[in-house]
Structure 1
Amino acid sequence: MYKIFDTVDEVSRYTTQRLLDKIRTQPTATLGLATGSTMEPVYAQLLASLHNSPLNVSKLTTFNLDEYIGLSADHPQSYNYYMHQHLFNQLDIPEESIHLPDGLTDNIDSACQCYSNAIKDKGGLDLQLLGIGTNGHIGFNEPLTSFNSRTHVVELSEQTRIDNSRFFNNKAEMPTHALTMGILDILEAKEIILVATGKHKAQVMAQLFHSSIDESLPASALKKHNNLTIVLDREAATLLPEQVCKNAV
């Protein structure tokens, strides 16, 4: 299902409402969370909504999609730091209920297996929030990642490193590898919301719409999911067929 809005603010308000509905109806939900510039207005709107109409979030469990290898949790460009700055520091979720891959783990294989197992032990993800890379990656699952993958190490593509290096003052600090939740972990979520905004996402969203389900475009795996919502602003939807845009308001 596509939902297309005129502005980023409307996208954020709709996505926030979906998150709030999940929290209200399922206070013990397990949420899969994403990072990146697309999510910042979503988390800002979520915090504003919870400030105006408080909900008990203390029983939630969260799992983030990914983390850079080599960055400590307090590094300003780590996703652990991002999540605490943009969300967790202002929410009453116990730290032990917050899960992110460990970018400094000494045993990567064990850490990956434990991460996927921890998701399974919680009964899977009740709702997974996703962004999408310009090359179609979800999480850090780059093109040609197996659709049967669990949490694993990925070498970041040149395109991903170019896209993300803008966040680093010194582009040489941009990591080459990351830990990411696998595509199968994502697909096993009971509900998925994919959010994309801006003109720079228009090409990949058109590619996703027209593509077959193929590992060369990781996000195409989402077409196999029976409870997927794709939320776009007008700019990200620019290259979609006119009829899709008409039906998605």
Structure 2
Amino acid sequence: MKIIKTKTYDEMSELAAVYLLSHMTKEGRVNVSITAGTTPVKMYEKLVPMVKGKQNYSNVHYYNFDEIPFQGKGKEGITITNLRKYYFTPAEIEEVQIHKLTPENYESHDQRLKKDGGLDVLVMGLGYDGHFCGNLPGKTAWEDQTVKTPFLDEELQKIADLEFGGDVSLVPSYAVTMGPRSVMNVKELIMIVNGKHKADILKQTVEGKVDSNIPSTILKLHPNLTIITDEDAASCLSEETLEKYR
């Protein structure tokens, strides 16, 4: 594990973009999985002008690692919709490079990744409760590959407030996600974390014991994990930890 502490969210985002770009410039097919949400927005702003219109990135293939489908049919899910908004559309990524994880194909997702050569890098955020990808506490087991996970009633309202203007009737009863086993099979993991509100959970993730109640603690066992954080998110980490994983 490596921890890189930057001063600001902007610096964290720029460094994350550079790290991702370093994978994308490799020869041959490159398979990456990237995150939606608010944390990576600035990273995508910096990445778009580096990638847009550049044919030398046509070897990069993108996979979403989780998806929340919209209630009803005929519309793409929340994750892929946000990825299109913040990155795929402004960067003019060709559709042939986008490989969607959906409720219809999740059971074959791991086999598809294996056939495609596996994921070279996965960029994720860190949830306030220690969730990563769609692996919320109590929802998935360490041995799970890509799975369907049900939402609890209290979670439905949170999703409705964030994505549907508070209308719970539009929220599906489940999501699909790459489970811990699938994520741990990725060649390199990059976690981006910012803000004081993530300081305590980052400390638990890095310095605490591996605990299924805090899913992100399993990630410290990955042989190639890089955490890129701003000063606020790293504020609870000890100097010994920062020195050890510098």
Taking structure 1 as the reference length, what is the TM-score of the superposition? 0.86
Deviations along 1:52-91, whole A, 9 cap, x unmatched? Answer: x94622121111111113356746x711211111111133
The reply to whether residue 195 of structure 1 matches residue 203 of structure 2 is no
For structure 1, the 5+ residue unaligned runs are: 106-110
Query: Percent of aligned pairs with the same residue?
Result: 26
The reply to whether residue 221 of structure 1 matches residue 218 of structure 2 is yes
Q: 1:135, 1:159 within 8 Å by CA — same for their partners in 2?
A: no
The SS at the match of 1:25 is coil
Provide closer, same or farther for how the CA distance between residues 155 and 13 of structure 1 changes in structure 2, counting only shifts above 3 A: same
Aligned counterpart for 2:118 among listed residues 124, 127, 130: 124
Aligned equivalent of 1:108? none
Superposition pairs of residues 167-178 of structure 1, within 5 angstroms: 167-172=163-168, 173-178=170-175
Q: 1:29, 1:60 within 8 Å by CA — same for their partners in 2?
A: yes
Superposition pairs of residues 1-249 of structure 1, within 5 angstroms: 1-51=2-52, 54=54, 56-71=56-71, 74=75, 78-103=78-103, 105=104, 111-144=105-138, 145-156=140-151, 158=154, 162=158, 165-172=161-168, 173-245=170-242
The SS at the match of 1:31 is strand
Instruction: Figure out how many residues of one structure are paired with residues of the other and give that number.
Output: 241
Q: 1:31, 1:128 within 8 Å by CA — same for their partners in 2?
A: yes
CA distance in 1, matches of 2:217, 2:8: 25
Deviations along 1:124-155, whole A, 9 cap, x unmatched? Answer: 10001111111111111111321111111112
CA distance in 1, matches of 2:88, 2:219: 27
Q: 1:74, 1:80 within 8 Å by CA — same for their partners in 2?
A: no
Query: How far apart are 1:13 and its partner, in Å?
Result: 0.7
RMSD: 2.5
Query: How far apart are 1:24 and its partner, in Å?
Result: 1.3
- What letter corresponds to residue 100 of structure 2 in structure 1? L
Taking structure 2 as the reference length, what is the TM-score of the superposition? 0.87
CA distance in 2, matches of 1:80, 1:195: 19
CA distance in 2, matches of 1:36, 1:132: 10
Query: How far apart are 1:247 and its partner, in Å?
Result: 6.6
CA distance in 1, matches of 2:79, 2:74: 8
Q: 2:66, 2:79 within 8 Å by CA — same for their partners in 1?
A: yes
CA distance in 2, matches of 1:131, 1:30: 18
Q: 2:70, 2:78 within 8 Å by CA — same for their partners in 1?
A: no
The SS at the match of 1:90 is coil
The SS at the match of 2:56 is coil
CA distance in 2, matches of 1:212, 1:248: 16
Q: 2:147, 2:176 within 8 Å by CA — same for their partners in 1?
A: yes
The SS at the match of 2:232 is coil
Task: Name which of structure 1's ranges 154-163 and 210-219 shifts more when overlaid on structure 2.
Answer: 154-163
